[in-house]
Chains A and B, each alone.
Chain A
């Protein structure tokens, strides 16, 4: 059975988008039909990172009820080179669109939640998608909380930055717990995971801090920084340690009930 996965974080710069793109691609490479959504309406980035030409319709239009979701989806299945479906729904990167989205009222946000929830029927039941991946804005933005509420699983990208740890812990208790969401943590940009001991220490420490399962530990890779976000790592570097970590995450996610 497929799932909606929201990738969220307390702070910006924790690697949500890198994780979202590569997780979506890794799932597609494992034979799953995947659709990746840019729900970061304040700072859209998937169009640039995936080098997708200007879209005719955006996710903004779907949420505004001026476009059908089928017109928003862009087929990028050729990026993974197998028979799986790999689609993306972009957020409008125009300044006017960003301003428009930041001025929405509560009734609009309530309808937007309804339209996000409707994707389960239209895309998963109707078009055979196995996974919908929501890349969100950091913190307690309306669009991000809508994504969290719509999701079956929330992946929280976090780092060892002290303010991120404090904020993430608070968010887990005061947001995800209240919505009874299945949550897993991905610790990113870790400096020392060279030995098994240090990895075990980190796992113990994280479980103590967050009290939720740890899906993966991602070391700080210079190769990823050098690529400047322009590479789907799991596709272009299949033997890279980062790809192996993502494949492990996919295997874990696939085994969830």
Chain B
């Protein structure tokens, strides 16, 4: 027979899963909202592991460049940490970071509830 603790944990796990899915859904909505604001022209064709070099940074729209440059300097950061540097809202930075992930310039990794963004440099080819 299941213990009361085990019975109590399952609903908690379900609720955490729902919260995680809602957060992911929220991120997608934030990206869609920002795309509507700036227009789809900002969304360059997605490509796998596109290099985030200085020429790419130069060709980006201003709002994405600011986010990308801040992350380049910080190496690895959450939307909240980027927001602390750029002084723009966390939701806005989250949307820009996720756009950059979709465009192939950034990688995203989840550790618990936090989503970390980073530029993958060392595993890319090139000479």
Contact = CB atoms under 8 A, between A and B. Distances in A.
Given A111-B124, A149-B72, A142 B58 contact: no
A178 B58 contact: yes
B69 interface: yes
Interface stretch (B3-11, B18-26, B38-46, B48-56): B48-56
A109 B124 CA distance: 11
B84 interface: no
B3 to A, nearest CB: 49
A65 B122 CA distance: 9
Contacts of B125: 107
A17 interface: no
Interface in A96-116: 103-111, 113-114
Contacts of A107: 51, 53, 124-126
Interface residues of A, number: 21
A61 to B, nearest CB: 14
A143 to B, nearest CB: 10
A106 B126 contact: yes
Given A110-B121, A178-B65, A145 B126 contact: no
A107 B75 CA distance: 16
A142 B55 contact: yes
Nearest to B58: A178
B127 A109 contact: no
A179 B66 CA distance: 8
A114 B52 CA distance: 10
A69 interface: no
A175 interface: yes
B54 A146 contact: yes
A192 interface: no
Given A117-B72, A142-B54, A146-B54, A110 B124 contact: yes
Contact of B54 (A108, A149, A180): A149
A113 B53 CA distance: 8
Nearest to A148: B54
A150 to B, nearest CB: 8
Interface string A134-160: 000000001001100100000000000
Contacts of A145: 54-55, 58
Contacts of A104: 126-127
B62 interface: yes
Contacts of B66: 180
A110 B51 contact: yes
B124 A117 contact: no
B57 interface: yes
13 contacts: A103-B127, A104-B127, A105-B127, A107-B51, A109-B53, A110-B53, A110-B121, A111-B121, A111-B124, A145-B54, A146-B54, A178-B62, A178-B65
Interface of B: 51-58, 62, 65-66, 69, 72-73, 75, 119, 121-122, 124-127
